[in-house]
Chains A and B, each alone.
Chain A
Amino acid sequence: GAVVSQHPSWVICKSGTSVKIECRSLDFQATTMFWYRQFPKQSLMLMATSNEGSKATYEQGVEKDKFLINHASLTLSTLTVTSAHPEDSSFYICSAEVHTRQSHFGNGTRLTVT
């Protein structure tokens, strides 16, 4: 149980376009979802915390207008990278939390902006 599906697993887009990444909890309702970013050979850095029905809370230095997060239901959160640039190329990974405070990770999305 407690499966988190993240889609797509990889995406290549052109500079200036927008990309949407979905994070779904398949068999449980997630009270909170988190979005992380990971550069090669580095650790996971928290970008934002997403609670269903409310605005996301962004970490310092993360542009909320560039990384749009929508958490419309207890099973779905989306991250949209708007007007993507090559420096946005990275590995993005979501996690969903249940009331037991256990984090369940998606498989991540590798974004390449050309």
Chain B
Amino acid sequence: KAGVTQTPRYLIKTRGQQVTLSCSPISGHRSVSWYQQTPGQGLQFLFEYFSETQRNKGNFPGRFSGRQFSNSRSEMNVSTLELGDSALYLCASSIERGGGNEQFFGPGTRLTVL
């Protein structure tokens, strides 16, 4: 069974631009979560989608948004990029919602903002 895939793997943007990252969950998984990883702040939860609805949101500004499609694939968008948005963005999928369900992580998209 294929794992979680994220595209693109690497991205370079300039301040003020916007970016869209894509995540394809493991087949049959309905929950997709996004995390930001930076050296200073560590791993932080962005949001979770389940059945095309955002179910949970972390403490990030409104410039960060996402959506989920009917096939469970998810995208996240960051508008008006800032230098501080440079990070590794990780997507994770799980079969169902639930604190005990294992989340499977993709390899991440490394975003560099110049």
Partners in one complex: no
Give chain B's interface residues, CB within 8 Å of chain A: none
Give chain A's interface residues, CB within 8 Å of chain B: none
